[in-house]
Amino acid sequence: MIFVIDDDEIMSECIAREIGGEDVKKFSNAIEAMQEIIKGNIPDLIFLDILLDGPDGFTFLNELVSYSDTSRIPVVVVSSLDFGNKKLIDYGIVGILNKDTMNPEDIKKYVREYAK
């Protein structure tokens, strides 16, 4: 199962389309996604936007890494923000995709590597 967390519905749909398959769950905010995880639906991979309505992506990441059952979930950050040299490895981030420059193949690459 793959989670896509983005408050922009069209962008979320674009990412989900590139992932393909039926095992994709889309969330428009971090709270809904976290509730799904608490129910026991642990995803194989998460595509996460940072600037979200309500708690932002970093709040979600902090929550994720603080629990043993979720701390190893691979996360790909999908954002227009420039992270420069900030070290994001502590958050379990396996990749950063810039919304301005990413290509469909970039998404597929992470799916092949972490969720298939």
Partner 1 sequence: MEKEVDGILVAAHELKAPLAILRQLALSFDEMDTKNEYIRSEMISVSERAIKQVNDLAKIKRLEDGLFTMEPVAVREVCDAVSHELEYLFSYNRRDLYIKYMNRSRLVTANRDLLYSVIYNFLLNAMHYSGDGTRAELIVRDNKENVKIMIRDYGPALPMDVWREIKRGWVNKPTSIAMRPGSSGLGLYIASKFSKYMNARVGAVRHRDGTSFFVELPTSKQATLF
Positions in the binding site for partner 1 (CB under 8 A): 8, 10-11, 14, 17-18, 51, 80, 99-100, 102-104
Between 54 and 104, whose beta carbon lies closer to partner 1? 104
| Distance in angstroms (rounded) separating the CA atoms of residues 6 and 27 | 6
Q: How far is the CB of 25 from partner 1 (least distance, A)?
A: 19
Task: Write out the two tokens for 90.
Answer: 């502590």
Task: With H, G, I as helix, E, B as strand and everything else as coil, classify residue 93.
Answer: strand
Q: How far is the CB of 115 from partner 1 (least distance, A)?
A: 19
- Nearest-Å Rg of the Cα atoms of the chain is 13
In the complex, the smallest distance separating the C-beta of residue 68 from partner 1, rounded to whole angstroms, is: 35
Residue 62 CA: distances (Å) to CA of 25, 88, 92: 21, 11, 10
**Cβ at position 71, least distance to partner 1 in Å:** 30
Nearer to partner 1, 10 or 89 (CB): 10
Round to whole Å and give the CA distance between 21 and 59.
29
